[in-house]
Amino acid sequence: MKIKDDYLHCFSSIAEIFSRATGLAAMIVDVTGKAISDCYNFNSFCTLMRANETYRATCQKCDKYCAFEALKQVKPRILCCHSGLSIFSMPLIHEGNLYGFIICGQV
């Protein structure tokens, strides 16, 4: 579906700009918690963790959990990941349809 791709691509660009402006890590994930954008400004610890298949799966579970906690309240949600870093998420909803989430943080 083209609108979905265009919509998420737009948010990927926003995530990159947000990351550059704030110094926080950011990425876009789909409704399954899988990263669909580059991982912008990730710290070396998180980059190393996500390079390992086992740890990456755990990171993705945290991303998904944080994302759906935000969806429950339809507003940004701040949580700690499995490694103790703070992350926050916001659902990306367009015309009532959930397309994915922006995940930020690593603080």
- Whether residue 102 has pLDDT greater than 50: yes
Two structure tokens written together for 10: 């737009």
pTM over 0.95: no
Tens-digit pLDDT profile for residues 71-95: 898 888 889 999 999 999 999 888 8
Q: How many CB atoms lie within 10 A of CB 93?
A: 14
Tens-digit pLDDT profile for residues 17-43: 999 999 999 999 888 888 888 999 999
Alpha-carbon distance values, 27 to 39, 43 (Å)? 5, 13
Two structure tokens written together for 54: 């086992």
What are residue 90's DSSP bridge partners? Answer: 102
> How much is the pLDDT for 18?
93
Q: Look up tokens 């579970």; give the residue.
A: 61
